[in-house]
Structure 1
């Protein structure tokens, strides 16, 4: 419900004529034997979002929910731009599988699923700001040779741009889980991790990417305010809108 509150709070600041809402089922759903918690609901949202994105004209930005909303965005964008790289701004690498996940939450498996399903090659993925790893995620990253830039490396936007250029990409998909930011700078984080990026560094990195590469699509996920109608929530919204503006 905090995620629902977050997207509702942001909705009023998004351009009405360019924004489409996708309904999310209220029921929890079940795993249907997949090892993925609430799999039936995750699949339904994926199907609904994929249908909406099929009509998107040009690059799009998916806003709201947890990181699982990136599944439909990634698949759609990479079908249109098969040479695109993926930049994954996230405190967590989201590289678990049903076999390695401690929680069974698909939000922690999204990037791994995209790689395993062939939507994107691991060699065209750059993790940005990840600082909380599960053992299975670390093992997969090491085996696949996936590139990861630490928070301090992202102070220079050129480092990220060059890492993406080294993949040979001709476009970029940008995923932003807001917990890539430091909790001192954004209050409404679903799963905060200390020592994150500063907002100015995140905005600067996105702008540098967009200057160098066409945008194939983007996701902004996991805004979860504790109380939407507070002064802190207003400060959060200002920060998030700067990020969305950089993406658009």
Structure 2
């Protein structure tokens, strides 16, 4: 949460506003996904309630999530208010595992399947997987690849992910954007699950510029993590520069 708070402060400064913090930092729970989810449910529900209030008030949300798993709370709320939206999932991973298919048991790797009601997180669902554009997803397992085929998920691979292809995949639909910082090439952002390859910040800016030409519902950024040997302030500013075409359009 320390990294998320730092990035939120930087974004708030750019937008001349304040941010609302949900939850309290705690020692990471060394347990399986079920115990982790049960422990986090009260604060995840608080996150969902906070996001719901912002949408009811007519705001377009900008959320900074400590982990992708927090999207278990945000995505169902967005689906209830925007049932026909396009979800852009900018991530090195697919997050398309289920409790039955996951080898690691990592909760953050099961987010999109929960949102599509392939398993019950206790936080809701509301998305169809054909509403998802998986952008990059350069590290996928066989179960995720099978699910992409089965549910006709639009997958723009690292090789095919261009601003033009992303804009075409969106079409005329309103967009909710999720960015996992491990999308970027290793070493550019302080994030835990880096994967070889990936775009640089200039390429992310170009993708965000393409997204910014569409109707935007909101933005969430995950996995920006406090790391003692990283130039954190500079990284936060650089990431905000790359994301500017999206959040400036949201709050224009």
Please report the TM-score for the alignment, with normalisation by the length of structure 1: 0.86
Paired residues of 1:37 and 1:105 also in contact (CA < 8 A):
no
The answer to whether residue 84 in structure 2 is matched with residue 87 in structure 1 is no
Counterpart of 1:227?
Answer: 228
Counterpart of 1:207?
Answer: 209
Paired residues of 1:91 and 1:179 also in contact (CA < 8 A):
yes
Partner-residue secondary structure (3-state), 1:19: coil
Alpha-carbon offset, residue 99 of structure 1: 0.8
Change (3 A) 1:96 1:24: farther
The answer to whether residue 235 in structure 2 is matched with residue 236 in structure 1 is yes
Q: In structure 2, list runs of 5 or more residues that go unmatched.
A: 119-124, 248-252
Paired residues of 1:30 and 1:41 also in contact (CA < 8 A):
no
The answer to whether residue 175 in structure 2 is matched with residue 172 in structure 1 is yes
CA RMSD of aligned residues (A): 2.1
Counterpart of 1:22?
Answer: 22
Greater RCO between the two (CA within 8 Å, min separation 6)?
1
Counterpart of 1:44?
Answer: 42
Partner-residue secondary structure (3-state), 2:193: coil
Partner-residue secondary structure (3-state), 2:245: helix
Alpha-carbon distance in structure 2 between the residues aligned to 1:220 and 1:38: 21
Paired residues of 1:128 and 1:148 also in contact (CA < 8 A):
yes
Counterpart of 1:122?
Answer: 129
Partner-residue secondary structure (3-state), 1:191: coil
Count of matched residue positions in the alignment of Structure 1 and Structure 2: 234
Q: In structure 1, list runs of 5 or more residues that go unmatched.
A: none
The answer to whether residue 152 in structure 2 is matched with residue 153 in structure 1 is no
Alpha-carbon offset, residue 29 of structure 1: 8.6
Paired residues of 1:129 and 1:197 also in contact (CA < 8 A):
no
Counterpart of 2:121?
Answer: none
The C-alpha deviation readout for 1:158-180, integer Å capped at 9, x for no partner, is 11010121xxx531111100100
